[in-house]
Structure 1
Amino acid sequence: MAIVEQRAWVRSSQAAAFEASQDYAKRRDWDPFSRRLETLPAEDGQRITRVTAWHGASMDVAFVAWFPPERAAIRMVSRSRLLAVFAGSWAFLPKGDGMIEVRFRYQVTPHAYCAWLAPLMLVYFRWETRRRLAALKRYLETGG
């Protein structure tokens, strides 16, 4: 298991940042990773979303925490050829003077048969996480 975490200080309100991250229409305006976000019929009362990345891979995730405007957390519920476990949380923490700390944190565990790919997966997830966080910061600070 590996943890990938990136943080940034952003000039924004907690509510605006949470809304930009969780309102899928707004997210299309800033998120370079997500090509498509589709809400699926709920299973056992869980909110399930299919996330399709810019490169075409997709996964279904269920929300396991929902605490507007502070944080949301998900876990993968679909099968993946590469990942045994994928989970993540996005937190929006007030810091005063109109600033918040935005923290993207992911748990990534490859299947045992492809564990040799773990170092490359971490490089990819770190890059993607930095890119997404920078894009959200730009969006919020330029009046997105």
Structure 2
Amino acid sequence: MKEESSSTPFYHGTKADLSPGDHITPGYRSNYGQRREAKYVYFTATLDAAICGAELAQGTGPESIYLVEATGPYEDDPNLTDKKFPGNPTQSYRTAHPLKVVGKVELWQGHSPEQLQTMKEHLQRLKEQGIEAIEE
């Protein structure tokens, strides 16, 4: 478990409309799989992973990437690190505590339409196989 104090900037990609001072909390429906209530909030130290999160998020709002601070302990995201990317090169994390929104990334470039389609097709194949992208 890592502690909440860190000088590393963290990002959260979503289609939710948030403002500095807002908190992103567990308990909302997951963006992936069967969209069960999420026990954790997911975040990353890489802008590319946050872009993926924003592009693949459910909802109708604009794709947004927020700068966030952890308010409690967090851990490596086992959905990625143990299964797809040993060693956590994506610097992806999860926490059962709220994330505090401290800013918004205004300028970022999304993936190409082809890359985005490939990501969506991969998630669809997992869904058809009954594999949850996020298992907890």
**TM score, norm. by length of structure 2:** 0.26
Larger Rg: 1
Which has the larger strand fraction? Answer: 1
**TM score, norm. by length of structure 1:** 0.25
